[in-house]
Structure 1
Amino acid sequence: MNRIWIIVVGFLLLTLLPFLACGPQLEALAMRFVTERPDPGQLAGALILLLGLDIFLPVPSSGLITYCGSQLGMSLTAVLATFGLTIGNACGYELARLWGTPLVEKFASENDRRMLARSFMNGGIPLVIISRPLPVLSEAVALLAGCATMPRSTFYPAAILSNAALGIIYSTLGSQYGDEPYFLWIVLSSMLIPLGMTWLARVMCGSSTSPVEVECSVENQNRE
């Protein structure tokens, strides 16, 4: 199973290359949006674009959605966030399905491939939904789902449902508290809390344990 995890980590590292190349420009753009009141059309387009590139760039999606909720309102932000997040999921899933599957077949053992496929056939929907608010893990699960050729008919409904829930929660937070003097702390908290949840999940599951291995372990215990 470690070889499959190495392939996924390799995909994630490749996604950092555009950020390393365009980091200063992206930082300047983000600062302009924070310090100035942006045009609503431009902000809506930036929201979709950045969330769609979340699989390739380390975008603080929770903080971004919260901020946009304060500028665009809850309803519009929730719809745009759901659309953008789903684009990001689709990019990761389809790229991994196209290029990750051959790598898994080449480098992973038969037992690892069966474990991966069984995990996403039996427990793929909970994995996709539960991992959605967790940075890095959500991208890893999308890539693993593609490598496992999880059926599109189950992956996309689970992704859309979890993305919609995330969009509604953070956009509501932004629209409700956008005018408060402590709003900046709310935005920062919306970014830091998911990171803390990711760290906690890794500690609880074990630093070397993947989501797939956790799912298979639970499945084996249930059988016993």
Structure 2
Amino acid sequence: MSPQPDASRRANALPKKIFLVALALALLSLAAFELCGATLAELFSADAFGERLGAARSYGWLLGMALLLVDLLLPIPATGIMTALGMVYGFWLGWLFAATGSALAGIVGYALVRSGGDALAQRLAKPAELQAFRALFERWGALAVIGSRALPILPEVMAVLAGLARMRFGHFLAALLAGTVPVSALYAWWGASHGREAPASSFLIAVLLPLVLWAIFLACYRISKKDS
């Protein structure tokens, strides 16, 4: 029997060390949440943070965007920040500030790993494994990035993996915006319309909506390519 199928399966599997890095990042985020998540959730809930933004309206939007960026390192409740921005600045400005801050966090995380991640990636995987991992991420990474944007912990992990995989920046940016723009719009709209914390059920909508929109976009794109 030829050994090629086994070799092919090994090359196309996610390298274990890269998986362990992703798992370690997720566990660190969970540990940070256990240590200070409850305090941060209380400080930066939509209601509590909305009051602070209202008192510092002229520059509060900068604080909101900075907190969304800090979400790379600390378990900041990003949905509460986005909702508060909508409460204080209305839907359109709240959406702009929320989407910009969240997208910047993803870009910074990706860029930091992409710029210095080659040496790390080569230590974590053999060349064949690394090539297969990058091809896998190029094919499915966009869906993973989109689906992670409304969830805790996963956005940071996916940005790191995208950087390690050297995912094309244009491809990463499109997926990042496809996941970030609808999610930030949802929470900014809720804050502007209802003036309070978004309900837990909105998480499901925030995850599914970008994926549905991306599927529609891809379908329309494929149809247009066939017709051209």
Q: Same fold (TM over 0.5)?
A: yes
Q: Find 1:7's aligned residue among 8, 15, 21.
A: 21
- The structure whose RCO (Cα within 8 Å, separation 6+) is larger is 1
Bigger radius of gyration, 1 or 2? 2
Match of 2:8 in 1: none
Where do residues 1-224 of structure 1 align in structure 2 (5 Å cutoff)? 1-10=15-24, 30=44, 33=49, 36=52, 37-178=54-195, 183-184=196-197, 187=198, 189=200, 193=203
Q: Find the aligned partners of 1:98 and 1:11 in 2 and give their Cα distance.
A: 18
Match of 1:211 in 2: none
The amino acid across from 2:60 in the alignment is L
Q: Find the aligned partners of 2:109 and 2:30 in 1 and give their Cα distance.
A: 13
Asked if structure 1 preserves the Cα contact closer than 8 Å seen for 2:142 and 2:172, the reply is: yes
Superposition TM-score, scaled by structure 2 size = 0.69
Classify the secondary structure of the residue corresponding to 2:184. helix
Asked if structure 1 preserves the Cα contact closer than 8 Å seen for 2:37 and 2:76, the reply is: no
Q: Percent identity?
A: 28
* Cα separation, partners in 2 of 1:17 and 1:136, compared to 1, 3 Å: closer
Q: Per-residue deviation at 1:58?
A: 1.1
Classify the secondary structure of the residue corresponding to 2:71. coil
Q: Find the aligned partners of 2:102 and 2:150 in 1 and give their Cα distance.
A: 11
User: Which aligned segments of 4 or more residues in structure 1 are displaced greater than 6 angstroms?
Assistant: 13-29
Q: Find the aligned partners of 1:49 and 1:19 in 2 and give their Cα distance.
A: 19
- 18-27 or 40-49: which moved more? 18-27
RMSD of aligned alpha carbons:
3.2
Q: Per-residue deviation at 1:2?
A: 2.3
Gaps of 5+ in 1: 198-224
Gaps of 5+ in 2: 1-14, 208-228
Classify the secondary structure of the residue corresponding to 1:150. coil
Classify the secondary structure of the residue corresponding to 1:55. coil
Asked if structure 2 preserves the Cα contact closer than 8 Å seen for 1:16 and 1:56, the reply is: no
Q: Find the aligned partners of 1:38 and 1:190 in 2 and give their Cα distance.
A: 29
The size of the alignment, in residue pairs, is 190
Q: Per-residue deviation at 1:76?
A: 0.4
